[in-house]
Amino acid sequence: MELPRGVEHSWEMFNILIRPPWFLPEKTAINESAFLRRREFLSALGLGGAGLAAAGVMDVLGAEEAGKESTVAAKSRPLYPAPRNPRYNPGWTLTDENVAARYNNFYEFSMVKNQVHQLTGKFVIDPWKIEISGLVEKPFEIDAHELIREMPLEDRVYRFRCVEAWSMVVPWTGFQLSKLIEKAKPKAEAKFVRFETFNRPDQAPGMKGSNYPFPYFEGLRMDEAMHPLTLIATGIFGKPMPKQHGAPVRLIVPWKYGYKSIKSIVKIEFLANQPKTFWEVLAADEYPFESNVNPSIPHPRWLQSTERVIDTGDRIRTLPYNGYGDQVAKLYSKV
Ligand SMILES: Nc1nc2c(c(=O)[nH]1)N[C@H]1C(S)=C(S)[C@@H](COP(=O)(O)O)O[C@H]1N2
Ligand SMILES: [Mo]
């Protein structure tokens, strides 16, 4: 959202073909998924990475694709797909899985969406310690993978709306954050929850020499955190969370702009006062703490009334609270 200023966004909003040299059109991303399907096909035939390296495909796919499946993914594979919760199973058309997996905001790796998935090769997601601290009865630490196996996982289809005016519809796997909060037993003074992402420049190339205030941090009010729509997501499309989507665990708050949905969480802290958030620190007028999806309040640099569906390219109307108003509007009605 920062570096692509006036470039990414003008392209998003007006489809103007002014692009920096590193910009790869989405057509390229779609071609890459053809490469991946070819790779899956070859590995089914017993032709592994070596054959592909010879074919020169490895350079295109990057380290992530060359790496073995992580132990965390292997251990949790039997948990997926989790049962779909019928309450969150509307008839919406799902976004193409391969398009979603190559169109990621994850600035710790890259500011270029279709490069993120290629730069996660060194990112270690197992073991993964999560610290639960602050205003709780008993602070504790738990391995993310242990947590994933402890919690009852379910599948939910949600709309996801980025502040940059693109959107997707995806099935997340996970559990309600409220269930983890109940485990943590916050004290009565706890009114906010703060989340923090890992801090490992050696594993995440976008963090190296960056001016951003990493590690990424976010926050919710306690009632927002306790809302049944708020998820700790552990997977997507019926599989363990790929690194580029925020493995091993991330937040999903579907009625707020995407940047609230912090990835790869290492710390959950309970606080009496409203914490600062990553994008708020960078530009408070553009990315305030609350950040509910609202088509009638334009971003200072573009409109929010419509959004572009990332796989079809369709431009559709943005809904208040991203379509979840019936469930969340009451949180914001001042009496
Ligand atoms: N740690 C971290 N979390 C993050 C981000 C990030 O850069 N770092 N980007 C946010 C933004 S702006 C969006 S739109 C979503 C993108 O999630 P996706 O790649 O799974 O679609 O992640 C959010 N969570
Ligand atoms: Mo975003």
Average pLDDT over residues 308-313: 98
Ligand 1: which residue has its CA nearest to atom 23?
A: 259
State the pTM of this model. Answer: 0.82
Q: How far is the CA of 106 from the centre of ligand 1 (A)?
A: 5
Q: CA–CA distance from 287 to each of 2, 10, 280, 291, 302 (Å)?
A: 12, 18, 5, 7, 13
Does the pLDDT value for residue 15 go beyond 60?
A: no
For ligand 1, the distance from its centroid to the CA atom of residue 188, given in whole angstroms, is 31
**pLDDT value of residue 73:** 55
What is the CATH code for 84-332? 3.90.420.10
Nearest ligand 1 atom to the CA of 104 is 19
Residue nearest to atom 11 of ligand 1 (CA): 259
Range list of β-strands (E), the chain: 129-134, 140-143, 154-161, 166-176, 192-197, 217-221, 231-236, 239-240, 250-252, 265-271, 306-309, 315-317
What pLDDT score was predicted for residue 205?
Answer: 98
pLDDT of residue 21: 34
- Across residues 160-165, what is the average pLDDT? 98
For residue 318, report the distance from its CA to the centre of ligand 1, in Å. Answer: 19
Q: What ranges in the chain are assigned the alpha helix state H?
A: 8-14, 26-44, 49-55, 57-66, 71-76, 97-100, 144-150, 177-184, 222-226, 278-282, 325-328
Residue 213: pLDDT above 70?
yes
